[in-house]
Homo-oligomer: A and B are copies of this chain.
Amino acid sequence: MSTEKNYLNIAINSKKAANILKTIPDEKRCQLLIRIHDALKDNALKIKNANDIDLKQSIEQNFSSSLIKRLDLFKGDKFDVMLKGIKEVIALQDPTGKLLLKRQLDDNLTLYKKTVPIGSLLVIFESRPEVIANIVSLSLKSGNACILKGGKESINTFKVMADIINTTISSSFDELNVPMAAVQLIETRDDVNQLLAMDGIIDLVVPRGSNALVKRIKDNTKIPVLGHADGICSIYADNHISQSINQAKKIIIDAKTNYPAGCNAVETLLINKHLKNWDELLKALINEKVTVHLMPDVKLEFLKLNPSFEDNQFVVDVNQDIEFDQEFLSFDIAVKFVDNVNDAIDHINHHGSKHTDCILTEDEQVADFFLKSIESCSVYWNCSTRFADGFRYGFGTEVGISTSKIHARGPVGLDGLVTYQYQIIGKGQIVGDYVGSGGSREFNHKDLEI
């Protein structure tokens, strides 16, 4: 009971801090971020010492080298890039208080639609300790309070950094008025589970990490989750690409091999069965050491055209449909024939994960139909699926990629951390004076310039 109370306090304090933060102007929130930047910079040695402990323990515990690489905050220019990231967020436009609508309802009765912070965010991330600086900047810049949970491998680094941030917030309180609870830390997975039950207090959960993490969180909360579990992206090679078959090869190879672990890497290649020289696409992939998982009819036709590939290690069978529902995240791609663009659309809308899909075609009408029909957050014509990214979209910094249809979709920038509110400023008007509610006054509904 006493621990339960404690979790409730974390959530309630976060919400209270959020409601204060909302009233603090961007200028003060940015001043605080500058101080946090400086404090992290001044305490680099202290942070490095903590990070060394985490690294040592991870090596002792035989963690994977990729995890250890992610954990190392001082590898190359990572720490400086982290600090630079805070300054970049400071320089972004204030996402709150933007006027979206200003409408005169009647004389001296005006409706405003304005962006406002979402409130209290629960942000859960894995081993990369620099994410804390990124999340704190994004939250404070957008006027939201955050509750942070990092990976247990980075706990020492994370605690020292959090301590520096909290000390900065509290020592600036008299001047900048940001409450301590604007940034709170939790340490265990059990803490997270308790907070995931606090719908109605916590407004949004942002998981940044593996598919397994995102899935676990989505399955265990009623709070809206901003994120994506899978990235099953498809490319459809239409039959109208005779002039651009080399361009098609280039795009498919980039989408598959540029960074196969990325959620925007392509996993499925759908080939129009009327396309000439379609086997060129597969040979180009195999040439880049990509394993092509071929449906029976694709394999049959491919080997008929290229008998020398009979025992090629990069040519394997695909089990009907099943492999189209999984993310390889490796040098693998599943390949299927489709009859036409409709067939491709049906496959993608059914098997895809609503992330990013692409059509390769020279036919504008077919492309337009594809762009309109695909349900995914991002849909492309003649370029790599790897463009699905906040930096590449020009959003400055990225909160994550969302495959939700509700609220923020696709690469999510600072705008994904605000919602809107309607405000009316009147001079004593009552509804009873208007038509439909007992009176005779009419609304004039005149949109005013913003």
Contact with B along A393-424 (1 / 0, CB 8 A): 11000000000111101110000000111111
Inter-chain contact B393/A430, CB cutoff 8 Å: no
Inter-chain contact A421/B251, CB cutoff 8 Å: no
- Cβ of A43 < 8 Å from any Cβ of B? no
Give Cα distance in the complex from A372 to B346, angstroms: 46
Chain B residues within an 8 Å CB radius of A375? 19, 119
- Cβ of A63 < 8 Å from any Cβ of B? no
Give Cα distance in the complex from A309 to B52, angstroms: 74
- Cβ of A371 < 8 Å from any Cβ of B? yes
Q: A426-B381, A426-B382 are in contact. Are A443 and B392 (CB under 8 A)?
A: yes
Inter-chain contact B426/A378, CB cutoff 8 Å: no
Q: A383-B424, A419-B409 are in contact. Are A430 and B250 (CB under 8 A)?
A: yes
- Cβ of A191 < 8 Å from any Cβ of B? no
Report the count of interface residues on A (CB-CB < 8 A): 77
Which residue from chain B places its CB closest to the CB of A404 in the assembled complex?
Answer: B224
Inter-chain contact A109/B431, CB cutoff 8 Å: no
The stretch of A64-72, A127-135, A151-159, A432-440 in contact with B is A432-440
Chain B residues within an 8 Å CB radius of A86? none
7 interchain residue pairs of minimum CB distance: A383-B426, A254-B430, A394-B445, A386-B431, A247-B428, A406-B407, A378-B422
Give Cα distance in the complex from A16 to B391, angstroms: 33
Give Cα distance in the complex from A346 to B180, angstroms: 18
Give Cα distance in the complex from A425 to B247, angstroms: 14
Give Cα distance in the complex from A189 to B142, angstroms: 42
Inter-chain contact B430/A22, CB cutoff 8 Å: no
Inter-chain contact A111/B393, CB cutoff 8 Å: yes
A201 to chain B minimum Cβ distance, whole angstroms, is 10
- Cβ of A161 < 8 Å from any Cβ of B? no
Give Cα distance in the complex from A409 to B406, angstroms: 12
- Cβ of A269 < 8 Å from any Cβ of B? no
Contact with B along A222-258 (1 / 0, CB 8 A): 0010000000000000000000100100110111001
Partner of A23, one of B373, B380, B382: B373
- Cβ of A379 < 8 Å from any Cβ of B? yes
Inter-chain contact B247/A424, CB cutoff 8 Å: no
A2 to chain B minimum Cβ distance, whole angstroms, is 22
Partner of A380, one of B376, B424, B434: B424
- Cβ of A7 < 8 Å from any Cβ of B? no
Contact with B along A97-113 (1 / 0, CB 8 A): 00000010100010100
Chain B residues within an 8 Å CB radius of A345? 19
Chain B residues within an 8 Å CB radius of A443? 392, 394
Inter-chain contact B23/A105, CB cutoff 8 Å: no
Inter-chain contact B419/A393, CB cutoff 8 Å: no
A378 to chain B minimum Cβ distance, whole angstroms, is 4
Inter-chain contact B429/A383, CB cutoff 8 Å: yes
A8 to chain B minimum Cβ distance, whole angstroms, is 13
Inter-chain contact B381/A103, CB cutoff 8 Å: no
Inter-chain contact A392/B425, CB cutoff 8 Å: no
Chain B residues within an 8 Å CB radius of A434? 392
- Cβ of A293 < 8 Å from any Cβ of B? no
Supply 17 further A-B pairs (C-beta < 8 A) apart from A118-B405, A378-B424: A19-B375, A103-B393, A247-B427, A251-B428, A253-B430, A258-B438, A377-B422, A378-B421, A380-B426, A381-B423, A381-B424, A384-B431, A386-B432, A392-B434, A393-B422, A394-B443, A405-B419
Chain A residues 253-293 with CB under 8 Å of chain B are: 253-255, 258-259
- Cβ of A173 < 8 Å from any Cβ of B? no
- Cβ of A79 < 8 Å from any Cβ of B? no
A435 to chain B minimum Cβ distance, whole angstroms, is 10
Chain B residues within an 8 Å CB radius of A409? 419-422
- Cβ of A204 < 8 Å from any Cβ of B? yes
Inter-chain contact B437/A382, CB cutoff 8 Å: no
Chain B residues within an 8 Å CB radius of A430? 250-251, 253-255, 258, 383-384, 386
